[in-house]
Structure 1
Amino acid sequence: MNKPLIIIFTTIVLDAIGIGIIFPILPSLLKDLTHTSNVALYIGIMTALYAVMQFIFAPVLGALSDRLGRKPVLMISLGGAVLNYLFLTFSPHLWMLLLGRAIAGMTSANVAVAMAYITDITPPEKRARRFGLFNAMFGMGFIIGPVLGGVLGDHWLRLPFIAAAVLNGCNFLMAWFVLPESRPPSREKINLSALNPLRPLRWAFSIRGLLPIVMTFFILSATGEAYGICWALWGYDAFQWNGFWIGLSLGAFGVFQTLVQIFLPGPATRLFGERGAILIGIACACSALVALAFVREGWMVFVIMPIFALGGIGNPALQALVTRQVDPDRQGQLQGVLTSAISLASIVAPLFFSTVYFAVQQEWPGAVWLSVAAVYLIAIPLVLQSTHAKTKATDHPAV
């Protein structure tokens, strides 16, 4: 693996740790600031605020990375993350906490720019494997982050925010001094109309074959939101799991998911093609979800997890497929549009799946997983449509 990839993957691990490190202590912090024990509404507001700002600004930052280069926009994003965590560390009032999350949402281009960077330096035939490694690094950070946040939070409630600020500061310095630019700045002047957040979305919808893929990203992201909303509630209602077992189950899934993302996306794409890998991933995820709906003993969940994790092999193939739909000078804009789709899913999906779970909680908590499988199935005709569309071949610099 070459140096730029090592640096960008390290950046993603540190970024994911920084995000996950605050999860264990955010409820306690909100209780401290609001002087109320029921903070679910405030958590929802913070989550929605971040997602709305990301939805608006991610396409703009992606388009800017096509004009200014990847590195300057990554610097803006990492600097915004440091500012956000400092707000969280020293905010004595709720409005400062919300302001910090708004700034983080505005500058949250880390993932989009990193994916555009990988696209810049990777030939098409290697992208599925490298996007798999990308997802594995992000998953690894999310395994480490909550554990580290819980340990640090026991010493001081604000300590995880300081640690997150330090990690993002190290990220900033590493990218500034070590990471080479993958795309030289364009000589074209920036048209202010290009900063219209709706313009990249209109551009994406105008490209044949791209809209079904964006919609597929939205659906897969929406299904991913269901686990964060329903997993802990389901574990408690179905098996009377305590915090230890819920954490253990999530950690076990994270390990399986990381192993799958490291070793399988590349071989799966070579054997079955991008469309085949995506469809196999959806089939594995749906099979596991149906099984989860009917399990009666907690240990059965751990048996199903390897099949569940295999559902992840389709995501890198989908990411590789979408990069071949546009020219190299539009990759940042494309990744910004995809980030907006993910953000929109983060706004809509929690409301939908929490409503479904509330409806089935008393009679059959596991039925919520059937609704997730049903949403997954909507993606199948979209995948078939997108892979039948003519794919535009482009030349990309490889390393």
Structure 2
Amino acid sequence: MTPENRNLWIIASIAFVNALSFTILIPILYLYGRQFGLNDFETSLLFSMFSLAQFFATPVIGKLSDRFGRKPLLVISLAGTVIANLWAGAATAAWMLFCARILDGITGGNASVAQAVISDLTDESNRARGFGLFGAAFGLGFVLGPVISLLAQQVSLGAAFYASGAIAFLALILTVLFLPETLERRVRTNIFDLGLGTLVTGLFMPRVGILLIINLLLGTTFTMFTFAFQPYYLEVLGQNSQSLTVLFIVYGTLGVVMQTVGVPYLTQRFKLTRILFLALLVRSLSFVLMPIWPILAYFVIVTVIFSILSSLVQPIISTMISLNAKPEQQGVVLGLNASYLSVSNAIGPVLAGLMVRQTNPTTYGYPLYWAGVCTFLVLSVAIATRRRYAPAT
């Protein structure tokens, strides 16, 4: 195995463990917020505060990783995740939970740094494979994370945060002991320039800005779904958190298969834009179809089809952003991409939270309908502007 391949597998392992830490929380965060007496809208803010903090912090982390190296920033951000999860698990009041989620958001930009490591290690011919491997590792975390969450729930919902913190600590150890520094050419800039200005200027970067806008819009529609998904499944379909966790395991398994087998197979035979358009078409149709009939078997079938192709979206967009950026800009542009996904994660749950009413469970389907319509509109924009961002490869 070449050093480059070995380092790719190391960063994939770190992504996997980091994903475990994150996905342990997905099935329980909504119910954990309700445990503190939060209503649906306040619970949506619990999701949004994390994402808003991540929005501002991620480009800073990406900028600093271009200047000081990938490894130090990975270490700092993972340490923050450990502390934040332990704090959330020990929370005795809602304000403590909010503060812990904000801290986790501030230090939660490590995905963009990990993607920058992949950019450091790959060239244009195998970058899609590198991002596919990263996505597969994250997807595998989506399989095993809910399993660990299911076990932790037998103790308490708060125990899931302790498990998440422990696994983030494992990712921290892997990074410190095994990941070499991959940045060969460091960008020397004003140390006080933390990259916040790029949150605006990045939108106008040739061939990159339009992809950031598309991803921002897609992230907003997707997080409308992710927030409404849990209460719809629990309140409308009458299921429990354990079966919800099992469903996440199924989604994660399908995502791993698509990102390990599907991405290499499809990218060798089709243009990246065509793969993206197909995945977005299926995503938009799935959103609209999900709430039409409140029947469990029907819902599971639609969401399984959705999970198969929707898992292609982020690896493909990340690949196109990386291919369109200069080598010395990889940390910045991938940080911007993660940052705009974070702000979409802040917007989507709030929009969904404003649409739903606890007294009328039928309203939990409204964000799904809107997510489908809006995703189709974004697909139309992506098709109309494809000449502005489509890579030559």
TM-score, structure 2 length as denominator? 0.87
CA distance in 2, matches of 1:138, 1:59: 21
Distance 1:222 1:352 in 2: 9
Report the equivalent of 2:152: 152
2:133–2:259 Cα contact (<8 Å) kept: yes
Which structure has the greater CA radius of gyration?
1
Report the Cα distance in structure 1 between the residues aligned to 2:71 and 2:49, rounded to whole angstroms. Answer: 26
1:362 Cα deviation after fit: 6.3
Superposition map of 1:192-203 within 5 A: 192-197=191-196, 199-203=197-201
Letter in structure 2 aligned against 1:180: P
C-alpha distance in structure 2 between counterparts of 1:145 and 1:207, whole Å:
36
1:247-300 Cα shifts (integer Å, max 9, x gaps): 443332332222222211222222220111111111222233343243463222
The answer to which of 345-354 and 142-151 deviates more is 142-151
Kindly tell me: are residues 368 and 347 of structure 1, through their superposed partners in 2, closer, same or farther at Cα, counting changes over 3 Å?
A: closer
Deviation of 1:60 (Å)? 0.9
For residue 78 of structure 1, report the CA deviation from its aligned partner. Answer: 1.0
Bigger shift: 132-141 or 322-331?
132-141
Paired with 2:34 and 2:368, the residues of 1 have a C-alpha distance of 31
1:341 is displaced (CA, Å) by 0.7
Q: Say which SS state the counterpart of residue 186 (structure 1) adopts.
A: coil
Q: Provide the residue aligned with 1:346 in structure 2.
A: 345
Superposed counterparts of 1:307-326, under 5 Å: 307-308=305-306, 309-326=308-325
Aligned-pair CA distance for 1:97: 3.6
Q: Aligned pair in 2 of structure 1 residues 31, 314: CA closer, same or farther (>3 Å)? A: closer
DSSP-derived class of the 1:324 partner = helix
Post-superposition offset of 1:102: 2.4
Seen in structure 2, the aligned counterparts of structure 1 residues 151 and 138 have a Cα distance that, compared at 3 Å, is: same
- Residue 58 of structure 2 corresponds to 58
How far apart are the structure 1 equivalents of 2:32 and 2:214?
36
Check 1:330–1:250 CA distance in 2 against 1; reply closer, same or farther (3 A cut): same
- Equivalent position of 1:397 in the other structure: none
CA separation of 1:153/1:390 partners in 2, compared to 1, >3 Å: closer, same or farther? closer
Residue number in structure 2 paired with 1:83:
83
User: Contact 1:54 / 1:105 at 8 angstroms: preserved in 2?
Assistant: yes
Counterpart Cα distance in 2 of 1:307 and 1:187: 43
**What CA RMSD, in Å, does the superposition of the two structures yield over aligned residues?**
3.0
Q: Is the 8 A contact 1:292 1:369 kept in 2?
A: yes
5+ residue gaps, structure 2, are none
Q: How many residues align?
A: 389
Residue 115 of structure 1 pairs with residue 115 of structure 2: yes
* Amino acid of the structure 2 residue aligned with 1:234: Y
Scaled by the length of structure 1, the TM-score of the pair is 0.86
- The DSSP-based 3-state class of the residue aligned with 2:180 is coil
Give the aligned partner of residue 282 of structure 2: 284
Deviations 1:63-118 (A, max 9, x none): 11111111111111111112212323445555444333222211112111011111
Query: Partner amino acid for 1:264?
Result: G
Structure 1 letter corresponding to 2:171: N
Distance in 1 (CA, whole Å) between partners of 2:361 and 2:137 is 38
The residue matched to 1:195 in structure 2 has which SS? coil
The structural deviation recorded for 1:4 is 1.0
Q: Distance in 2 between matches of 1:312 and 1:122?
A: 22
Q: Which letter maps to 1:375?
A: C
